[in-house]
């Protein structure tokens, strides 16, 4: 269980310094990743030691020194203390994920969402995960349901390499199939009209790639799990905004659909939200 950093540091750092501390940090396997402000940077070793005292399994502490950037969704990291490494194994719902936090995107925060989708997957389904990262959605689905296959596409060779390792650690050979490339191209070339369910866990590209998710679905239709970021001022509903944007696009694409479920997964900044829509596509 992650504790709020200011609570951990109360009594360790002076009260007037605590205001400069980011409260949140991530634990990926045995690596803790914290964010520092210009002012809190000088306290990095103390903060790291305090985290290691609370989380006895943490062997390495890194500091994130850039926002998430680029197509591979990476972040710049600096070594703070402990073992000098960036590769680890993360555990979630009895699954093991091989993750190199410097070379691949991974967020431990979406674990509820991964299980929510796994619970919807039905016996014998074929699933396409368009932006698989290290394959965490794919592995959770493969381990916790009786699907036939989860094609897991990523454009980052390091991410695909980590999917391969996780397939072996979780013994889901043949059930999770890693595919390297741009999701558009991979679907056009190899995965047309194959899927009962398509996952689009890349908010920055989901809208643009929606026609390719539809192309991957079987002629008989299926489900698309669509992820997006949305800004909403006071009085605006971020879910409603994404819903209308996507509904308009699907109508334009001449698709029969319904959107029976949508929710805010988390806030990502002031007035910014990560949203998921479960879209049912009819034949």
Ligand X SMILES: C[S@@+](CC[C@H](N)C(=O)[O-])C[C@H]1O[C@@H](n2cnc3c(N)ncnc32)[C@H](O)[C@@H]1O
- Chain residues binding ligand X by CB under 6 A are 71-73, 105-107, 110, 131-133, 136-137, 153-156, 159, 182-183, 201-202, 205
| 8 A C-beta contact, residue 72 and residue 133 | no
* Per-residue tokens: 18: 């605590």
Q: How far apart are CA 273 and CA 283, in angstroms?
A: 31
CA 274 to chain centre: 11
Task: Determine if residue 95 is left, alpha or beta; phi over 0 gives left, psi from -120 to 50 gives alpha, anything else beta.
Answer: beta
Q: Measuring CA to CA, which residue among 262, 281, 278, 230 is closest to residue 117?
A: 278
R_g (Cα) of the chain, nearest Å: 20
Cβ neighbours, 10 Å, residue 96: 17
| 8 A C-beta contact, residue 97 and residue 117 | no
| 8 A C-beta contact, residue 12 and residue 46 | yes
CA 76 to chain centre: 17
């Amino acid at each position: 269980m992650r504790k709020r950093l200011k609570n951990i540091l109360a009594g360790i750092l002076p009260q007037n310094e605590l205001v400069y501390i980011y409260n949140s940090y991530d634990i990926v396997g045995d690596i803790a990743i914290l964010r520092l402000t210009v002012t809190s940077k000088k306290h990095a070793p103390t903060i790291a030691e305090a985290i290691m005292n609370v989380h006895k399994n943490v062997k390495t502490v890194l500091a994130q020194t850039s926002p998430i950037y680029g197509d591979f969704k990476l972040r710049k990291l600096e070594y703070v203390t402990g073992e000098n490494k960036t590769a680890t194994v993360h555990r979630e719902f009895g699954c093991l994920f091989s993750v190199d936090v410097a070379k691949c995107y991974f967020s431990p925060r979406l674990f509820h969402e991964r299980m929510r989708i796994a619970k919807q997957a039905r016996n014998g389904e074929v699933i396409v995960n368009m932006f698989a990262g290290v394959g965490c959605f794919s592995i959770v689905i493969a381990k916790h349901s009786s699907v036939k296959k989860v094609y897991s596409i990523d454009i980052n060779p390091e991410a695909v390499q980590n999917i391969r390792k996780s397939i072996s650690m979780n013994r889901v050979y043949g059930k999770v199939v890693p595919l390297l490339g741009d999701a558009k191209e991979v679907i056009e070339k190899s995965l047309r009209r194959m899927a009962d369910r398509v996952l689009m866990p890349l908010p920055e590209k989901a809208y643009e790639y929606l026609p390719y998710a539809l192309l991957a679905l079987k002629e008989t239709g299926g489900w698309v799990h669509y992820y997006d970021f949305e800004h909403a001022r006071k009085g605006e509903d971020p879910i409603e905004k994404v819903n209308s944007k996507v509904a308009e696009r699907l109508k334009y694409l001449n698709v029969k659909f319904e959107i029976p479920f949508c929710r805010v997964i988390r806030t990502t900044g002031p007035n910014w939200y990560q949203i998921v829509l479960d879209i049912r596509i009819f034949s």
